[in-house]
Chain A
Amino acid sequence: MTNLTPASAPTVADAADTLTPTTGPTGRPARAGWRMLLPSMTPWLALGLVLVVGITLFGIIAVYLVGDPKQIRDQGLTPPSAQFLLGTTQTGQDVLAQLAHATRGSLQIGVLVGILTTALSAFFGIYGAYRGGIVDEAFSLLSNVFLVIPGLPLVIVISGFVPRESRGVWTIVVVLALTSWAASARVLRAQTLSVRNRDYVAASKVAGEKPWRVIVVEILPNLLPVIASQFVFAVIAAILGEAGLAFIGLGASNSATLGTMLFYAQNGYALSLGAWWWFVPPGLIIALFGMGLSLVNFSIDEIINPKLRNLRRHRRRARQVARTQRGPARRRTDAPGAGSPGANLSEESPR
């Protein structure tokens, strides 16, 4: 997430504005080659990207724009006002400032866990399936066992045993990654098994390629969309998992995440005091970010499963036929030839 460093410091709304025009290309010619691997733009994907990029930018940039999140004032529990856009906590801390820092913390943990989980699942899933035999059996058994052992209780028990002082961000990251790689590994194993027996893989083996090269060059590219989708889900799961842990007071010490915000809100009786501005925004950010990532994933799904994409094209064609039969009065930009994938922004247009 640190590779996104825009020169100016726009707000979330600006980010959304600059993003929107680029997300709405209509009437592009049919794509070929590697571009088939890129998802085609739909309103839902555009919304997803706006949410993800907007919240990421908020986490990166807003930290520098807001004041000290820990500063205590004598204006406790004030509702949102011009001075404090999201009101204050019980001890008069600025909720917006806390939200900015917490968003950054949550995103960091999400991305770290996402990378670690993806690496673990790729190793156990792809390498095991490629090697086959006893290694495959062992890895597959391991991931199946981890799949059925309930993750969160395990995480809670592990975090409970680690003393509070030594419970840093990395502890949480490792624990979350260790308990969440199994499902992805199982999917990757199945995919690898089907790729492994294709002719070109056999050919490169016969040609004397080293195992790591066969895996990275011949097998991995086939699995990239699946891995991308798994990474996205791993990030969502990690942010949710960390928020849950932090909410029950088992988060990393000295960390500020959306979960710890909710923890303090709950323990500061935000609920019974009616301070909705304190506990609504953190959860909303998590939910919207998760929704954004899921929407992006929908588009990745269409690459993995071309059936879904064909379905969308059929659907659009059927709708166009219906529309032309109804008469050209309410026809929109889509000319008769607009069956190309680029034109599908009109697909979800208001009926």
Chain B
Amino acid sequence: MSYFLRKLGFYAVALWAALTLNFAIPRLLPGDPVDILLAKLQQRGGTVSPETREAYALLLGGDDTGPLWSQYLDYLKNLARGDLGVSVSYYPAKVSDVILSSLPWTVVLVGVATVLAALLGVLLGAVVGWRPGTWLDSLVPATTLLAAIPYFWLALILTYLLARVLGWLPLQGGYDVALTPGWNTPFILSAVRYATLPALTIVLASVGGWLLGMRNMMVSTLSEDYVLTAEAKGLSPRKIRRSYAARNAVLPSVAGFAISLGFVVSGSVITEQVFSYPGIGGRLLGAVTNNDYALMQGVFLFITLAVLGANLIVDLLYGLIDPRTRARH
């Protein structure tokens, strides 16, 4: 039980650190975000009341209405109420609404692509690692090329080949704009069609890492005594591979899944930019180019929250899967 409490405690600290970072960054860095933001707001036809100014100042600093600690407390209070301010680039929409409307796109795209990549990589890695020394195994270093390719460049290349030269898939966007978003068949089909290319990019770029990790673990597992014992017992190679070697070798990949999620979300931020995908990464970059600091911070908090949550879940699950992690602490 103390293992789970410890984990919960750690993620509480991590969450607090992220919130504080979010509070500190605009105050530590040069520039005057509040003024830029308010100027933008006026351009968009918003009225700048003293309250608006104060709300932004609380989020971004630059206002000396009170001591820093009271600003900090007010900032945390606002966050607890889910108040992230008003987006300038989508004025008068609230930041939280903008995020919520773009969230499903990213969650589905990144989620499906990551799970696919992990499954594919782990399965292939188990096969390759089971027989070290075959021709398959000597191909393993080639996967480093895949891992070293920049996400967005792979996206560019695939777009060029599949969308522009061959014309199989749409160039960019999240769905056919002629259709109305909703739970109807044509719209979902079009969304799937538009998501194929970004998903393919993410899978291709990340499958190599999974394969390599699983293969290396598989190779080290093969020299374990229990594998030798299983062989001595006369079990079939298939059973040894599945129930003895792969089961133990997959553990670090499960732990890696949580950590990789952060990387995948990061990578997909830029991938979404290439495809003009209406996900949360596109919103983040749009916010950056438009100096929409409130939205920028909101998206960062949301991504952090999601990654922390996913990590927590995986950590807790890992404690269940592998009792050794609980015992050690």
Q: In the bound complex, do residue A157 and residue B300 qualify as a contact, i.e. CB atoms below 8 Å apart?
A: yes
> Among the listed stretches B14-22, B48-56, B230-238, which one makes contact with chain A, having 4 or more residues with CB under 8 Å of it?
B14-22
Q: Which of A154, A248, A286 contacts B149 (CB 8 A)?
A: A286
Which of B149, B156, B270 gathers most chain A CB within 10 Å? B156
**Is B10's CB under 8 angstroms from A248's CB?**
no
Contact of A244 with B151 in the complex, beta carbons under 8 Å: yes
When chains A and B are docked, how far (Å) is the Cα of A280 from the Cα of B149?
11
Q: How far is the CA of A279 from the CA of B157 in the complex (A)?
A: 8
Contact across chains for A141 and B293 when beta carbons are under 8 A apart = no
Per-residue A-contact encoding for B250-274, CB less than 8 Å = 1, 0 else? 0000000001001101110110011
Could you tell me if B149 and A161 are in contact, using CB atoms closer than 8 angstroms? Answer: no
Contacts of A195 in B (CB 8 A): none
Contacts A271-B159, A283-B150, A294-B144 given; does A150 touch B265 at CB 8 Å = yes
Nearest CB of chain A from residue B265's CB, rounded to whole Å: 6
Complex: A291 Cα to B138 Cα, angstroms: 15
The residues of B that contact A318 with a CB separation of less than 8 Å are: 133
Chain B interface bracket (under 10, 10 to 19, 20 to 34, 35 or more): 35 or more
The CA-CA distance from A303 to B26 in the complex, in Å, is 44
A44–B157 Cα distance when bound, in Å, is 26
> Which residues of chain B are within 8 angstroms of A50 by Cβ–Cβ distance?
none
At the interface with chain A, which of B78-86, B95-103, B177-185, B301-309? B301-309
The answer to whether B25 and A161 have CB atoms under 8 Å apart is yes
Taken together as a complex, chains A and B put the C-alpha atoms of A298 and B208 apart, in Å, by 14
- Residue-wise interface mask of A (323-351) relative to B, using a CB-CB cutoff of 8 A (1 in contact, 0 not): 00000000000000000000000001001
In the docked arrangement, what's the CA distance between A243 and B171, Å? 22
| Chief secondary structure at chain B's binding surface | helix
Is residue B13 within 8 Å, beta carbon to beta carbon, of the partner chain?
Answer: yes
Q: Give the distance in Å from the alpha carbon of A160 to the alpha carbon of B269 in the complex.
A: 14
Complex contact B10–A152 (CB within 8 A) = no
State whether B25 touches A244 (Cβ < 8 A): no
- Given A153-B269, A156-B269, A156-B284, A147 contacting B148 (CB threshold 8 A): no
Judge if A149 is at the interface, Cβ distance under 8 Å.
yes
Task: Assess the B164–A153 pair: CB atoms within 8 A.
Answer: no
Q: How far is the CA of A148 from the CA of B313 in the complex (A)?
A: 13
In the complex, chain B residues 64-92 whose Cβ is within 8 Å of any chain A Cβ: none
Q: List 22 A-B contacts (CB under 8 A).
A: A44-B141, A144-B14, A148-B11, A148-B262, A148-B307, A149-B17, A149-B307, A151-B262, A153-B304, A157-B297, A160-B287, A162-B29, A243-B150, A249-B288, A279-B156, A283-B153, A286-B150, A290-B148, A293-B148, A305-B220, A307-B219, A307-B220
Residues of chain A having any CB pair with chain B under 8 Å: 44, 141, 144-145, 147-154, 156-163, 166, 183, 236, 240, 243-244, 247-250, 262, 266, 271-272, 274, 276, 279-280, 282-283, 286-291, 293-295, 298, 305, 307-308, 311, 315, 318-319, 348, 351
Interface residues of B (CB under 8 A from A): 10-11, 13-14, 17-18, 21-22, 25-26, 29-31, 33, 132-133, 135, 138, 141, 144-145, 147-154, 156-157, 159-160, 164, 171, 216, 219-220, 223, 259, 262-263, 265-267, 269-270, 273-274, 284-285, 287-289, 291, 293, 296-297, 299-300, 303-304, 307-308, 311
